[in-house]
Structure 1
Amino acid sequence: MRARLVMLAVASPTEPVHRMAAERAAGILAVVLMQARQEEELAARGRGDFLTDLAEGRIAADDAPAQAGVLGFKPGEAPLLPVVMRFPDGPAGLSPGGGWAVLARAVAEELASVGVPVLLGVRPVEGRVPLLLALRSESERTAVADRVAVALRAGVERAGMQRAGGQPPVVVVGVAGGWAAASAGLRHAAETATAAQGLPDRPWYDAQRLDIDLLLWRLRDHPDLAAFVDRAIGPLRDHDRRSKPPLLPTLETYLAHAGRKAETARELHLNRQTLYNRLARISELLGTDLDDPQTVLTLSLALRARRHAP
């Protein structure tokens, strides 16, 4: 929040005493604005505490509507859509010039264009922004999620909270439902937002479609996960460390396109024969058949797990 005090000479030129009065007034206004910003941030943190308590089960679903109403959120019987935005590196990845009060206000202003009731809080310790939105119907979930994701990132840009060159925040959208579903949905979205770090950038992620990534993230410190990754794609990792072209990106793109070679070659900007040669080399290094469904499942899991394996 910024302000500028302008002193105009109307009937006569300004005197030194006028300048002194203006400087004093500017100082008082600065204190008032600072207090307002602190109060705004405290309010945003209070909403964030409520949403976190709801997510972690410290607030019963039956008690939640009344407490939310005190915070100004009165969705009635509308389906609730849980959303969590998380900065990839947590608080450490934020620009020192930004502020949570500025972010909360900027995002709230951006969300005003979405046209649905919203309860937005901040959690500075986790570098997280939880939200609940009231939908008119569950069928508009995708459309509202698209608009909310744009509003969230626009708010971050306006608040100046993202470091130059830093990764954009991750936005995860949960399942719409009542207050009980909102509790579980906020918790699931918060965990998934952490597990989604390192995935290809998207405006938002569907929490339901990242359950495998969440499971693998929960196993990140287990030695069996690292052993599984090493068994499945270890030879390819060794190849890519010492030889070019790297083959892991080829395998990843091939599996992402469900084995459709034409689409894989197009995305990798390769001719068909070059792609066939690379796939043959991958099969040789791994000692597997890339057309075997069980092999495809194993390799797909290993590629997703390598982001979390130590």
Structure 2
Amino acid sequence: PLLPVVMRLAAELSPAGNWALLARAVLEELASVGVPVLLGVRPVEGRVPLLLGLRTESERTAVADRVAAALRAGVERAGLERTGAHPPVVVVGVAGGWAAASAGLRHAAETATAAQGLSDRPWYDARRLDIDLLLWRLRDHPDLAAFVERAIGPLRDHDRTARPPLLPTLETYLAHAGRKAETARELHLNRQTLYNRLARISELLGTDLDDPQTVLALSLALRARRHTT
């Protein structure tokens, strides 16, 4: 099986003519991974696509860990790390044969673009970002912006003028599937303060945060806002 992988560099990290240097540095780092590699560069899109040869699909995760570390080390070796710049995004696609390689690389490349702005991880599994990819593809559709405004517009208005901001509280709460103890711990809040913030969010949105349909809509809106603002 062949494993498609795409690394996307942020615009501020574009090597500006030093793509050969980057490719050489990445290949040198990948030499220690222990799997066959085909590597290319796409300067216009700021992407480095790879095809990796696996012995079995069961080693996908272990190989992805090593490859992601090698890619980031190659970026560092090429002198492209900068303070304050967004780190490279590495997306690992679905393993398949030669017939599926082209589609797998295109899917990973699109997903790497859609993943811009997500919390930093060593690598992203393309299979787990299909919703983000769909929302990215709809980024220019006015209905998506209208949906985001209906769902979380009052919170965005609140956060422009009032403190504390409530959108981070809602994001963390939903990320922890409504588990208040975990949410409070991550936000460094006591339980009562968190309850007060959640009550204020419900009041502003006119919704019930315990309703599954409401939770689904809010989760989608929070993910979609990266592509509509």
Aligned residues of 1:80 and 1:132 also touching (Cα < 8 A): yes
Aligned residues of 1:95 and 1:160 also touching (Cα < 8 A): no
Alignment-derived partner of residue 62 in structure 1 = none
Alignment-derived partner of residue 83 in structure 1 = 5
Moved over 3 A (4+): 95-98
Return 5+ residue gaps in structure 2 as ranges.
Answer: none
Q: Distance in 2 between matches of 1:180 and 1:275?
A: 51
Aligned CA-pair RMSD: 1.2
**TM-score, length basis structure 2:** 0.96
Q: Distance in 1 between matches of 2:138 and 2:188?
A: 35
Q: Distance in 2 between matches of 1:150 and 1:295?
A: 38
Report the more deviating stretch, 177-186 or 238-247.
177-186
Aligned residues of 1:99 and 1:161 also touching (Cα < 8 A): no
The sequence identity of aligned pairs, in percent, is: 90
| Structure of greater relative contact order (alpha carbons < 8 Å, 6+ residues apart) | 2
1:42-82 CA-partner distances (Å, limit 9, x unpaired)? xxxxxxxxxxxxxxxxxxxxxxxxxxxxxxxxxxxxx1000
Give 1:179 deviation, angstroms.
1.1
Give 1:182 deviation, angstroms.
1.7
Return 5+ residue gaps in structure 1 as ranges.
Answer: 1-78, 87-91
> 1:260-275 maps to which residues of 2 (within 5 A)?
260-275=179-194
Aligned residues of 2:15 and 2:22 also touching (Cα < 8 A): no
Give 1:99 deviation, angstroms.
1.3
Aligned residues of 2:3 and 2:95 also touching (Cα < 8 A): yes
Aligned residues of 1:80 and 1:177 also touching (Cα < 8 A): yes
Q: Distance in 2 between matches of 1:293 and 1:113?
A: 47
Give 1:309 deviation, angstroms.
1.1
Aligned residues of 2:14 and 2:46 also touching (Cα < 8 A): no
1:271-291 CA-partner distances (Å, limit 9, x unpaired)? 111001100110011010000
1:150-188 CA-partner distances (Å, limit 9, x unpaired)? 000000010012444211111000011111222211010
> 1:17-166 maps to which residues of 2 (within 5 A)?
79-86=1-8, 92-94=11-13, 99-166=18-85
Count the aligned residue pairs. 227
Give 1:118 deviation, angstroms.
0.3
Alignment-derived partner of residue 307 in structure 1 = 226
Aligned residues of 2:65 and 2:123 also touching (Cα < 8 A): yes
Q: 1:95 to 1:222 in 2, by over 3 A?
A: closer
Give 1:133 deviation, angstroms.
0.2
